[in-house]
Amino acid sequence: MNAKEYLEAAKTLFESHGDPQRAETQSKYMRNKFRYFGLKSAEWKSLAKQLYTRHGLLPPAELESFCRLAFAEEERELHYLAVQMLEKSMRKLSAGDIALIEYLITTKSWWDTVDWLAKLAGKHFSRFPELRLPMTEKWIASGNSWLQRTCIIFQLTYREKTDFDLMKKYILAVMPTKEFFLQKAAGWALRQYTKTNPDEVMDFLDQHPDLPKLTKKEAVKWLVARSQSS
């Protein structure tokens, strides 16, 4: 089965289980940026499992075509399916497939797919560390806020392996900004790192009191919650 045939099978399956009324509500929640079949998260994931059982995962030679075709569709669940299939195929990707991840980040962009893809970018950089600096330097300078958000949050799961100097550099590179998703991303990344090295995060906040209020508020949420529960 090639990419186009796989996509048609997915569309038929998803549409047959869709809920038009729920789809309208979902679209409104996402500011009418996307159409939906009206599938809950658990529902489309269950249907995706059926696809994988019947047809398997697409081979790497068809994966890029499938992702690009899926993202050309209007329904958001097909975008989710493409990202999930990409995630399941991460170990088979080559270094050059970072271009596909970049394409998907910048196509039909919104927080739901971008944050998922940022996680995949982080995994890809772990496999191909020589890509991390040149790609993120390119992205942070791109002017594209979704690529910039990715630069800030791709290390969320790195824990002790976090390059905090790089994170700080990219946070400061986009500040000051009025862009909500960048302010929020910076706070999220800092908050996550407080679970590994709270002192370094607090030092950074002390050194940069001009950071947006939202960023500072998000950064200390975990520490505040921990202190209140102790």
Series of mean pLDDT values for 10-residue runs along the chain (230 residues): 97 98 98 98 99 96 98 99 98 98 99 99 99 99 98 99 99 96 99 98 98 98 88
Domain end, chosen from 92, 116, 141, is at 92
**Strand pairing partners for 35?**
75
Residue where a domain stops, chosen among 40, 72, 92: 92
Residue 63: predicted pLDDT: 98
Report the pLDDT value the prediction gives residue 183, as an integer from 0 to 100.
Answer: 98
142 and 74 in a single domain? The answer is: no
Question: For residues 116 and 125, what is the distance between their CA atoms, to the nearest angstrom?
Answer: 15
137 and 60 in a common domain: no
- φ/ψ region of 179 (left if φ > 0, alpha if ψ in -120 to 50, else beta) reads beta
Q: Are residues 135 and 230 in the same domain?
A: yes
In this prediction, residue 229 carries a pLDDT of 79
Report yes or no on 215 lying in a domain. yes
Looking at the structure, do residues 142 and 65 belong to the same domain, yes or no?
A: no
**CA–CA dist 230, 228 (Å, integer):** 6
- Both 81 and 172 in one domain: the answer is no
Q: What does the alpha-carbon distance between residue 2 and residue 9 come to, in Å, rounded to a whole number?
A: 11
Cα→Cα distances 18→56, 58, 66, 68, Å: 23, 24, 21, 23
DSSP state of 14: H
98 found inside a domain: no
57 and 150 fall within a common domain: no
CATH code of the domain containing 31: 1.25.10.90
182 in a structural domain = yes
Indicate if 138 and 222 belong to the same structural domain: yes
pLDDT of residue 227: 85
Do 135 and 225 lie in one domain? The reply is: yes
Asked if residue 228 belongs to a domain, the reply is yes
Give the number of domains in the chain: 2
The answer to whether 134 touches 99, Cβ cutoff 8 Å, is: no
Whether residue 13 is found in the same domain as residue 80:
yes
**Range of the structural domain that residue 147 is part of:** 131-230
